[in-house]
Amino acid sequence: MRIVLLGAPGSGKGTQSQRLVERHGIPQVSTGDLLRAAVAKGTPLGLKAKEAMAAGRLVADEIVLGMIRERLAEPDTRHGFILDGFPRNLAQARALDALLGEIGQPLDAVVQMEVDYGELSRRISGRRTCSDCGRVVNLLTSPPGEAEREACPKTGKPHRLFQRPDDNEATVTERLKVYEQQTRPLVDYYREQALLHTIDAKGPVAEVEQRLERALAQ
Ligand code: AMP
């Protein structure tokens, strides 16, 4: 299963990817996570990416494509992968097609996760990540206290939750604009390739998960 999850920031790509990983045993490949790791380590690539990320703009295609090429060459992707946050513009989508064509592993499906603008902003403001295990939780949509009570699988202690620096209001506005201008055109691109499935990504995580599974089973 080689799939792309397409959707605006806050549409639930990361959350649903993590669930797909557990159920299907294929890795999540998130360019956002790879870039954040590079920034945290202070690698030359991370230093180049940092400014664009903080401003909510896209990082240069050559940087992201280099990372994807390396990641998809790793053996754990042989039986499939979930691309989360990549591709983000037409040039990346075309480069991905070329790369997967070279290795004879074309995409099976692209799922567009639809959520309205107001809900996206609300979700992003409540989003927190555990600095130990990377789990993403939402303080606004999960039952009160649940995220804080749950034990982190890495440390056995409560999750240490932090808010991503680019989840502030000004950066989120820019990221949503970038999505509309650069990423949304991919909906038509994949529709023309007959790969596109659109699901309603509003509502409880478990319901969205069922819609996603139904779309993938088609
Ligand atoms: P995400 O975690 O997917 O929301 O990504 C966080 C930030 O990383 C984005 O706002 C971009 O600055 C950068 N980024 C992630 N994926 C890509 C990509 N495919 N192309 C360019 N920039 C990206």
Tell me, letter by letter, the H, E, C secondary structure of 112-141.
EEECCHHHHHHHHHHEEEECCCCCEEECCC
Please confirm, yes or no, whether 135 is among the known catalytic residues: no
Active site residue 123: no
Specify the pLDDT at position 115. 96
164 is catalytic: yes
Protein residue with its CA nearest to atom 5 in ligand 1: 32
User: 179 C-alpha to center of ligand 1: Å?
Assistant: 10
Catalytic entry in 164, 184, 191, 202: 164
Catalytic residue among 19, 88, 128, 211: 88
The string of DSSP codes covering the chain is: -EEEEE--TTSSHHHHHHHHHHHH---EEEHHHHHHHHHHHT-HHHHHHHHHHHHTPPPPHHHHHHHHHHHHTSGGGTT-EEEES---SHHHHHHHHHHHHHTT----EEEEEE--HHHHHHHHHHEEEETTT--EEETTTSPTTHHHHSBPTTTSSB--EE--GGGSHHHHHHHHHHIIIIITHHHHHHHHTT-EEEEE--S-HHHHHHHHHHHHH-
Q: What is the Å distance from ligand 1's center to 124 Cα?
A: 15
Mutational pocket test of ligand 1: of 88, 172, 182, the residue with most ligand atoms within 8 Å of the beta carbon:
88
pLDDT tens digits for the chain (218 residues)? 999 999 999 999 999 999 999 999 999 999 999 999 999 999 999 999 999 999 999 999 999 999 999 999 999 999 999 999 999 999 999 999 999 999 899 999 999 999 998 899 889 999 999 999 888 888 887 777 777 788 899 999 989 999 999 998 889 999 999 999 999 999 999 999 999 999 999 998 999 999 999 999 98
- Decide if 78 is catalytic: no
pLDDT in tens, 66-87: 999 999 999 999 999 999 999 9
Q: Is 36 one of the catalytic residues?
A: no
Catalytic residue among 13, 36, 135, 211: 13
Question: Torsions phi, psi of 94, nearest 5?
Answer: -65, -40
Q: How far is the CA of 59 from the centre of ligand 1 (A)?
A: 7
CA distance 189 to 139: 35
Determine the CATH number of domain 2-115+180-217: 3.40.50.300
Q: pTM of the full predicted structure?
A: 0.92
CA of 9 to the centre of ligand 1 (A): 9
